[in-house]
Amino acid sequence: MSARAILLTLSLSARAAGFTHAADDPRVLDFAPPSPGTYELHRIMRAPDEDVLDVDGRRARLSQLTRDHITLLGFIYTSCMDPEGCPLAYRVFAQLKDQIQATPALRDKVQLVSLSFDPARDSPSVMRQYAGSRLEEDGGVRWLFLTTPSVKELMPLVEGFGQDVRYSIDRSSGRPVRQLAHVLKVFLIDRAGYVREIYTSTFLHPQSILADIESLLIEQEGASGAPP
Amino acid sequence: MSSTFPRLHLGRVLPALGLAAALGAPFAAADETCNSPYIANLIKGQEDYVYVWALGVEGLGDGSDKLVTVDVDPKSKTYGKVVSQVSVGGRGEAHHMGFTDDRRRIWAGGLSGTDIYVFDIATDPARPKLAKTIKDLGTKTGYVGPHTYYALPGRMLVQALSNDKDKGGVTGMALYNNNGDFIARYPMPVDKGGDGYAYDLAVNPSKNVLLTSSFTGSANYMRPLGDLIKDEAAMKRFGNTMVAWDLKAMRPTNVMAVPGAPLEIRWSLTPGANWAVTAAALTSKLWLVKQDAKGQWQAKEVATIGDPAKIPLPVDISITRDGKGLWVNTFMDGMTRYFDLSNPEAPKQTYEKHTGRQVNMISQSWDGKRVYITSSLLANWDKAGDDNEQFLRGFTWDGRELKQVFEVDFTREKLGRAHHMKLGSKVLRVAYR
């Protein structure tokens, strides 16, 4: 087994353990969020669009995959070990998936997207491993695990969404630390392709996100005259 | 520095990332303690730069407002020296600035107009570049004098001080995305006790609350201070309120009476804390804003700063990261005071030092060991003659004594009037370019 494969295995094992604990550790709000539909979610910006790959390596435009759903999209990289980064997002997404699954009015209208910003490591097959059993739940809430063919396709997405990516420097040695440092953001995208809310890992609360999703559905209902 | 730490290409960086993460390589984090909680990449060690937003002075250098970068790393050969400056091509009463949430850019503006300048500080933190000028604040909102730039995720909430109709203090906030595209405006409340005035804003996302404070309009702050204080009617046109808002809905929830122009707002950074402090400039009082038993936000006076009869004019405050201490600068007497905030209901002054003939902004490092002070309040309110010192002064703080360790004389360096500061670090570069 190569060093890289070992590291990947360790990473996946640690993540799996963390995931188990996280499901028992829902984040709770210290306030009651305003009721869905009583506040405005502005069109912050149009979501960027580029070619992405699903876990089978099929190429599609991101917009093709998001146009029919309200989408919650988060950037990840599978080797991320920051407990307040990708693993946290995975936990919150898992909680949301379960809650959306249990709400018939939401089930077919909302999807989750985890998009890698490490195309060099996160091939479609690695993303499939990362997704694990989440991919295999038939009839459930759709959760897409996407990557990009290369950095060329990735960068317009990273820049367009405003997902910060930096490298760091170890001050004690003065040398660059080649670690991908990022403050994780999660983007709520409406069916028309507009980013309507942006969450950070510091304040990523399923209850608040669900209220926002419901607000978008109420807005859609008002626009179409049809029930959501 | 750029040769020591070359820009990396994402395609070359990413393959190495897993190893660094697996080894638990630390990510540096320190910063002054008064930024938006949404701002990423705090610097927990030694900051490298202090960015100073300076007002241009006619006949001094190019006379333009400018962002000045000062090296503050004691180990650097250029410690305490200006390493770069970027002018914006005119004078507009440069005042405050703020980081975007990703800390890649600084937004800065002037109080005499509506332009907002966006500086790129991530490509080369030692040499910021003017990346964009946002010019539609006035046409989109009718507001004048953009003052506070407060990062929300992917957005910037801008607090204005005045309006383009009567140049009075009734104004509001504007929301932009990080690309500089206008999104929405939020008028300050003029009902239920609201006076419509504004100054600072600060959020506590854990409590879903935004607090705003209140100052005065352009007609007052652009007027010479000596004239203004003799005008009884004009002196009544200062803010006397703070407002608590539902942050998510961006709706005011209650207006609090805080007489005497409450200015900077500082939340306690202690997790779970539910209080903030402010200083009322004209009455020289510290106020505590805290939730009552019913969850309602209430303000109450908790301390006096200096001798209010002498109008020391508290103009900036800086809270320590543990919420147990507060620096207070008073402009008129040039004093820097430290208050023990262990009991925020009863702050006690424990230290004071004369740090300049006129002092305005005060910022501290994340660990509280370094304190930076600038001199300028407003072009027409700064003192005259020899009292018109213009500087950035760096101090060390050991818990007992402020010791000055460097000074940049902004007049001698032909830079202008030194106002707002933000800390920078050379480690905070983008990973791709």
Q: Which tens digits make up the pLDDT trace of B71-101?
A: 999 999 999 999 999 999 999 999 999 999 9
**Interfacial B residues in 257-276 facing A (CB < 8 Å):** 272
Percent of chain B with pLDDT over 70: 91
Chain A touched by B45 (CB under 8 Å): yes
- C-alpha closest to that of B326 among B280, B268, B258: B268
pLDDT of residue B29: 30
CB contact under 8 A, A39 and B11: no
Q: Residue A210: inside a domain, yes or no?
A: yes
pLDDT at B313 over 70: yes
Q: Residue A62: inside a domain, yes or no?
A: yes
Q: Residue B429: inside a domain, yes or no?
A: no
Our CA-based measurement puts residue B97 at a distance from the nearest CA of chain A, in whole angstroms, of 20
Number of CB pairs, chain A paired with chain B, less than 8 A apart: 161
Mean pLDDT, residues A27-44: 88
In DSSP notation, B191-223 reads: STT-------EEEEGGGTEEEE-----HHHHTS
- Identify any residues that bridge with A166 across adjacent strands, giving them in sequence order: A181, B430
pLDDT of residue A105: 84
- Separation CA A122–CA A130 (nearest Å): 9
Dihedral over alpha carbons A50, A51, A52, A57 (to 10 degrees): 180
pLDDT at B405 over 50: yes
Q: Which of A34, A166, A176 sits opposite B248 (nearest CB)?
A: A34
Q: What is the mean pLDDT of chain B?
A: 91
Q: Which of A29, A169, A181 sits opposite B5 (nearest CB)?
A: A169
CB contact under 8 A, A10 and B22: yes
pLDDT at A184 over 90: no
pLDDT of residue B31: 39
Q: Residue A205: inside a domain, yes or no?
A: yes
CB contact under 8 A, A121 and B14: yes
Q: Residue B254: inside a domain, yes or no?
A: yes
Backbone phi, psi, residue A49, to 5°: -135, 140
**Interfacial B residues in 372-391 facing A (CB < 8 Å):** none
Q: Suggest the residue from B5, B23, B27 to mutate for an interface test with chain A (most A CBs closer than 10 A).
A: B27
Mean pLDDT, residues B339-366: 97
Our CA-based measurement puts residue A58 at a distance from the nearest CA of chain B, in whole angstroms, of 22
- Burial, A14: exposed, middle or buried (Cβ in 10 Å; 0-12, 13-18, 19+)? middle
Our CA-based measurement puts residue B271 at a distance from the nearest CA of chain A, in whole angstroms, of 12
pLDDT at A103 over 50: yes
pLDDT of residue B279: 98
Mean pLDDT, residues B41-63: 93
CB contact under 8 A, B19 and A7: yes
Q: Residue B419: inside a domain, yes or no?
A: yes
Q: Are A175 and A169 in contact (CB under 8 A)?
A: yes
Q: Residue A56: inside a domain, yes or no?
A: yes
Q: A8 pLDDT band (50/70/90 cuts)? A: very low
Q: Which residues of B touch A208 (CB under 8 A)?
A: 248
Q: Suggest the residue from A44, A126, A189, A214 to mutate for an interface test with chain B (most B CBs closer than 10 A).
A: A44
Q: A132 pLDDT band (50/70/90 cuts)? A: confident
Query: Residue B223: which domain range?
Result: 10-424
CB contact under 8 A, B429 and A166: yes
Q: Which of B25, B37, B41 sits opposite A177 (nearest CB)?
A: B25
CATH number at residue A107: 3.40.30.10
pLDDT of residue B33: 78
Q: Give the tens place of pLDDT for each residue, B189-213.
A: 999 999 999 999 999 998 999 999 9
Our CA-based measurement puts residue B213 at a distance from the nearest CA of chain A, in whole angstroms, of 23
**Number of structural domains in chain A:** 1
Please indicate whether residue A89 or residue B256 has the higher confidence score (pLDDT): B256
- Separation CA B250–CA B176 (nearest Å): 14
pLDDT of residue B42: 75
What residue in A sits closest to B37 (Cα-Cα)?
Answer: A202
- C-alpha closest to that of A47 among A78, A69, A27: A69
Q: Are A143 and A93 in contact (CB under 8 A)?
A: yes
Q: What is the mean pLDDT of chain A?
A: 80
Q: Give the tens place of pLDDT for each residue, B229-267.
A: 999 999 999 999 999 999 999 999 999 999 999 999 999
Q: Give the tens place of pLDDT for each residue, B383-392.
A: 999 999 999 9
**Number of structural domains in chain B:** 1
Our CA-based measurement puts residue A139 at a distance from the nearest CA of chain B, in whole angstroms, of 33
Mean pLDDT, residues B174-198: 97
Q: Residue B431: inside a domain, yes or no?
A: no
Mean pLDDT, residues B115-136: 96
Q: Are A71 and A189 in contact (CB under 8 A)?
A: yes
Query: By mean pLDDT, which of A4-8, B174-178, B353-357, B359-363 is the weakest?
Result: A4-8
Q: How many residues does chain A have?
A: 228
CATH number at residue B241: 2.130.10.10
Q: Suggest the residue from A30, A157, A164 to mutate for an interface test with chain B (most B CBs closer than 10 A).
A: A164
Q: Residue B430: inside a domain, yes or no?
A: no
pLDDT at B431 over 90: no
Chain A touched by B250 (CB under 8 Å): yes
Q: Which of A31, A158, A177 sits opposite B208 (nearest CB)?
A: A31
- Burial, B362: exposed, middle or buried (Cβ in 10 Å; 0-12, 13-18, 19+)? buried
- Separation CA A189–CA A211 (nearest Å): 14
Q: Residue A27: inside a domain, yes or no?
A: no
pLDDT of residue A181: 58
Percent of chain A with pLDDT over 70: 74
Query: Residue A168: which domain range?
Result: 46-218
Q: Residue A58: inside a domain, yes or no?
A: yes
Q: Residue B190: inside a domain, yes or no?
A: yes
Task: List C-alpha distances in Å: B110 to B107, B133, B375, B379.
Answer: 11, 12, 17, 11
Q: How many residues does chain B have?
A: 433
Q: Residue A173: inside a domain, yes or no?
A: yes
pLDDT at B304 over 60: yes
pLDDT of residue B156: 98
